[in-house]
Structure 1
Amino acid sequence: MERIEFVKIGAVLVLLAGALAVALTAGARGGPAQAVTAPAVPLELGAAQILGALAFAGAGGAQNLVQSNWIRDKGLGMGARMPKLVSPVTGRPEAAPATGYRFPPDEPNLARWRGWWRVANTEQLVSFVLITVVTITVMSMLAHATVFGREVANDVTFLHVEGEVLNRRTGWFGTFFWIIGAYSLFAAALGILDYMGRLVSDSLKVTYLAASTRWSESALYVAVVWALIAIGGVVLLAGFDQPLALLIVSAVVGGFMMFLYSGLLVILNRRALPREIGLRGYRLVVMGLIFLFFAFFAALTIIDRIRGL
């Protein structure tokens, strides 16, 4: 999985460089300035699409919750002292739940915590915020330069039109655009399977199966991943195979999930963690605003669906 994502990152960097070098017109380069000076919310899309766009535009979804699992399995920081998720075929899975360890909040431990926290903040700023802003900006400019103002269908076929325009301009970049897009979606699907398997198996092992010596977290991970693949196959075989509809459903579920876990994270930080490392100050205010933000769009989506019945 890590190698697949590594290749994806390299390919996307090439795509971004090519988009900036050969695909964008002078008018498209004015897009970011127009977005800042004349912002507008596309209310004609409907509440579900707006919530889905917010969830898919870098907000994170369940991926925010799996960061600690990835850190643990890479052996970074405190993860070096916790049981790892390993392949039941090639490794030796540990039956113990990865419940972690609550350190005494004395000055030496807090100094280590602050050092790790600085690294975690820097990593999120670079790999999450910065890359998200750059990629969304460039891809939006690319779409503006190729399909803006054209009569295109309100579905994913606009990507075909975008690629054809790029091919006419460069002779090869459109085909490269399609290849990278397909590979990125494939890698994203694998990533979703991975982090859902990690989250569900971790939760089951820590709560309901903590005393089980038969069900390790690794075995649970394999079972969850194959169950998700089977469910996806059933959905497609049932005839529900429209890409845009499936994307909207997935994104809306992600938005609802972010609404729920934002509130739960505030409660967890205030009640379960030591005061020295829990949320406080402006971070607590921001988390409260995030909770209200997604609560508003979740409620708006429900009302919109009820009215459409």
Structure 2
Amino acid sequence: MAIGITLTLSPVVYQAVEKIQFVLVALIMLFVVVAIPAATTSAAWGALFSEGVGQVGFPVGQGGLGIALLLGALAFAGAGGANNLVQSNYIRDKGMGMGMHMPRIVSPITGHEEARPSLGYVFPTDDENMRRWRGWWRVANWEQFLAFFLVGVLSLIILSVLAYSTLGVGRVQEQDLAFLRLEGQVLQDVVAPWFGTAFWVAATVALFSTNLGIIDYTCRLIADQFKINALRDSRVWTESRIYVAFVWLMIAVGSLILLAGLDQPFALVVIASSIAGVQMFIYSGLLIMLNRRALPAQLRISGVRLAVLALSFAFFGFLSVLLVLDNLGGG
């Protein structure tokens, strides 16, 4: 409900999401920084380098790790297919460059909807525009590297070392949220009561920020596709109104699942993450096709980037096919 109210009442949705995520990520990083001297040990940091690589080989079948779980884990490790599909939507709403030519998603209640088409804009590839494009592309690359890759890798490493320092490996049976509860209790005993509580707050903030982003980008993708296809000529159903309608539909359906007592959170996560993995397969293929057929030659990716996309397409396609065969076989 808090996520729905936030997204519905934000005058410009992207600006509100960006500010909220910045604050939430800052809180998480504050905890991570404090955790290094307060709760990690030198032995754990040494084990990171001596034991961190683990067993060599494809991990399917080891410790109950199946195709669906592996596909979902790999998809969830990154932004996921749906999030990648709406990156251009975020760029548009950020108001940078090309985004200035497109209407933004706003609140139908507090925002001002713009009567402009949502079907895209291609700028002329003259010298001045290409200079601006290269400047934007450089900034976008650094932003992704610092905010997504570097912060993500460092926080994952530190949290893993924190768990190793306090709980070790193979010593506990708790899983899912029960593991988070146990970790917080151990931190309260080992470090201080306030630190265990801070761990739970950071975990809650992380889960909230993730769900805020998931609802936002999923509804952006749905609204975009409805507006440029089924509701293209509708004056009543603007992209912003479609977006808000699906925000509350997702919240209603999710609440009904919880109220119905469907006590299978792990199964639901595997289903959702597996779908994200299949989306990565489709998304990679669509992005290759877009670059080779639709974009001007000056804007197309090539070389290493194109090779990585092709590898992603083949890898996620391979896992997606294995997932289907695994389910058809009842495995």
Taking structure 2 as the reference length, the TM-score comes to 0.86
Cα distance, 1:276 vs. partner?
1.4
Does 1:120 pair with 2:140? yes
* Cα deviation 1:90-142 (Å, max 9, x = unaligned): 12213433223212223332222212111111111111111111111112212
Q: 2:81–2:276: 8 Å Cα contact kept in structure 1?
A: yes
Distance 2:86 2:313 in 1: 19
SS at match of 1:284: helix
Distance 1:245 1:11, change over 3 A: same
Q: How does 1:183-222 map to 2 (within 5 A)?
A: 183-222=205-244
Give the distance between the partners of 1:241 and 1:138, measured in 2 at CA. Answer: 31
Aligned residue for 1:224?
246
C-alpha separation in 2, matches of 1:34 and 1:293? 29
The one of 137, 142, 145 equivalent to 2:165 is 145
CA contact (8 A) 1:95 1:214 kept: no
What is the root-mean-square deviation of aligned Cα atoms in Å? 2.0
Distance of 2:319 and 2:288 partners within structure 1? 19
Q: Show structure 1 runs of 5+ residues with no match.
A: none
Q: How far apart, in 1, do the equivalents of 2:47 and 2:271 lie?
A: 29
Tell me if 1:260 matches 2:276. no
In 1, are the aligned partners of 2:93 and 2:105 still within 8 Å (CA)? yes
Q: Which amino acid aligns with 1:153?
A: E
Partner Cα separation in structure 2 for residue 34 and residue 227 of structure 1: 49
Is 2:113 the counterpart of 1:93? yes
Residues 1-309 of structure 1 correspond to what in structure 2 (within 5 A)? 1-34=17-50, 37-40=53-56, 42-43=59-60, 44=62, 45-147=65-167, 148-171=169-192, 172-308=194-330
After the TM superposition, which of the residue ranges 41-50 and 77-86 deviates more from structure 2? Answer: 41-50
| Counterpart contact for 2:215–2:247, Cα < 8 Å | yes
Aligned partners of 1:156 and 1:243 also within 8 Å: no
Once residues 122 and 245 of structure 2 are traced to their aligned partners in structure 1, the CA distance between those partners, rounded to angstroms, is: 30
d(CA) in 1 for partners of 2:89 and 2:179?
Answer: 37
Q: Structure 1's 256 and 282: CA in aligned 2 closer, same or farther, altered over 3 A?
A: same
Output the CA distance in 2 between the equivalents of 1:149 and 1:29: 18
Shift of 1:269: 1.1
Distance of aligned partners of 1:173 and 1:156 in 2 relative to their CA distance in 1, 3 Å threshold: same
Shift of 1:217: 0.9
Q: Which has the larger displacement, 275-284 or 241-250?
A: 241-250
Q: How far, CA to CA, are the matches of 2:184 and 2:137 in structure 1?
A: 42
Code of the residue aligned with 1:90 in structure 2: it is T
Q: Name the count of aligned residue pairs.
A: 309
Residues in 2 aligned to 1:242 and 1:97: alpha-carbon distance in whole angstroms:
43
Tell me which amino acid in the other structure corresponds to 2:178.
T
Q: How many Å apart are 1:89 and its aligned residue?
A: 0.4
Indicate conservation of the 8 Å contact 1:55/1:254, yes or no.
Answer: yes
- Structure 1 residues 120 and 3 mapped into 2: Cα distance closer, same or farther (>3 Å)? closer
Structure 2 gap ranges (5+):
1-16
Which letter does structure 2 place at the counterpart of 1:305?
Answer: N
CA shift at 1:271, angstroms? 0.9
Letter of the structure 1 residue corresponding to residue 26 of structure 2: G
Instruction: Please list the CA deviations of residues 130-189 of structure 1 after superposition, one character each: whole Å capped at 9, or x if unmatched.
Output: 111111111221222233231313443111121121111112222211111112212211
- Indicate the larger mover: 291-300 or 53-62: 53-62
Structure 1: which amino acid aligns with 2:112?
Answer: R
Higher mean C-alpha deviation, range 252-261 or range 297-306: 297-306
AA at the equivalent of 2:69: Q
Deviation at 1:307, TM superposition (A): 3.4
1:59 Cα deviation from its structure 2 partner: 4.4
1:236-273 Cα shifts (integer Å, max 9, x gaps):
23332333222222211111111111111111111111
